Amino acid sequence: MNLRQAFSPEGVVAVVGAGGKKSTLYALAAELDRAVVTASVRIPPFEGQVERLAVTDDPATVVEDNDAWPLGLVPGRDGDRERYLGYDPATIDALAEAIDVPILVKADGARTRWFKAPDVDEPQIPDSASVVVPVASVKAVGEPLSEEHVHRPERIAALTDREIGDDIQPEDVVTVLTHEDGGLKGVPDDACIVVLLNMVDDEELEATARGIGGDLLDYVAINRVVLGRMDNGRVVDVLE
């Protein structure tokens, strides 16, 4: 199964969590005939991942006049930092009303960690999101619950009853990804939820991911689970 079949990227696709959000967005954008790549949170420079990057306060007009795909859209720089700002979710909602192009949105931050639970003001998922992709790296399993590989480890500790420093267990990944204050936080009621277990780089990691994925499918809210290697845009398997 290819990326388009695995994720059904139509309308607004919001990617949240940790362990491969940006690589997922870029891989999906490369797969589609036309796509907008943007963010509702800060995002590092990504000019090399799109045919054109436009800095604009009028994204709909830019899309209407565009002929280079995929198209990156951002409202501006984050001061003098090497990153861009994201649009307010309401702006993305308005863009979705105005155009008929898939909009791929980085809707959460994780500072390159493998696993996270959102803070109070996270994630920033547009109301128009038709697909939400909560991401976790399967490589987090067996690692200590600490800042080395986990963004906001104290939030995960609160959801799982683990102590900081405890080894992360497969059931912890399931708990966080299915929790209303975790991977399901802020998801619109009618959105399709496609969980991505990323960094499935070998047979041992695949076995771990399959165990987690099977448990995730016990939750009626989750439509499917993708096992992937988004660093090279590869779907290992899709569980439904």
Task: Please state the domain extents for the chain.
Answer: 3-32+102-239
What local confidence, expressed as pLDDT, does residue 116 receive? Answer: 98
Q: Which residues of the chain have pLDDT under 70?
A: none
Q: How far apart are CA 69 and CA 165, in angstroms?
A: 44
What local confidence, expressed as pLDDT, does residue 35 receive? Answer: 98
Amino acid letter, 108 = D
What local confidence, expressed as pLDDT, does residue 229 receive? Answer: 98
What local confidence, expressed as pLDDT, does residue 1 receive? Answer: 87
Q: If one looks up domain 3-32+102-239 in CATH, what number appears?
A: 3.40.50
